[in-house]
Structure 1
Amino acid sequence: MNANLEKINGYSVVNVLEERIDAHNSAGLKEIFLHLIEQGEADIIVQLDRVRFIDSSGLGALLSGHKNAMAKSGRFILAGCKQQVVSMFELTRLNRIFEIYVDLTEALGSQN
């Protein structure tokens, strides 16, 4: 998985640098989330502004990250989703589970 990490305002921000999250790279994304949570970083923002496509394995990786962050009383936030990706969350009704924000600035300003 091609991604970079940065720390902003107490959040670990995972910037996904891929156009697709699918069976070929979703395991790598899941590992990134597990590593962060094992290091005590349970407040995670996933920046998805470059992602144009996500399949069921990509959704599974995000769900795994969400579940593990919640288990540590953290927050797992998605930011910068393109309409195609938002449509997939709506189709699967996962938009009811994830906190989804228009961009990183909005996500950092949220106080849920």
Structure 2
Amino acid sequence: MRLETQTQNGKVVISVKEERLDAHNSSELKEHILKTLEEGGRDLVVVLSDVKFIDSSGLGALLSGYKNASQRSGTLVLSSLQPRVLSMFELTRLNRVFEIYPRLQDALSSQGVS
């Protein structure tokens, strides 16, 4: 799985550079998020601008990251979702769990990521 990680404004930005986030690669994202948190990352922004398809495994990996961040008094927010991916969050009502921002800059300047 291709992931780009950088720090911006004190937040860890993880960009998923794959068209699909599914059973074949979601465990790698889950492990990467957990490792980032274990290494001291507190506030994470996951950028999904390249992801055109997400399944339940992908949703589960993000939810696991969200829970792990919360347990460490951190945050995990999402940005730049494609319409089809956003619709999956709406169908599963996970849009009520995650803070979802249309652009990375919106996520970086939000109160949700402190």
Please report the TM-score for the alignment, with normalisation by the length of structure 2.
0.96
2: CA distance, partners of 1:11 / 1:25: 24
Gaps of 5+ in 2: none
Write the deviation string for residues 41-86 of structure 1: whole angstroms up to 9, x where unpaired: 1210000000000000000000000000000111101000011011
Number of the residue aligned with 2:42: 42
Partner SS for 1:12: strand
Number of the residue aligned with 1:103: 103
Code of the aligned partner of 1:11: K
Give the CA deviation at 1:39. 0.6
Percent identity, please. 55
Code of the aligned partner of 2:14: V
Alignment of 1:92 with 2:83, yes or no, is no
1: CA distance, partners of 2:23 / 2:4: 20
Give the CA deviation at 1:109. 1.1
Gaps of 5+ in 1: none
Alignment of 1:76 with 2:76, yes or no, is yes
Alignment of 1:11 with 2:21, yes or no, is no
Give the CA deviation at 1:13. 0.4
Number of the residue aligned with 2:2: 2
What is the number of residues matched between the two proteins? 112
Number of the residue aligned with 1:23: 23
Partner SS for 2:37: helix
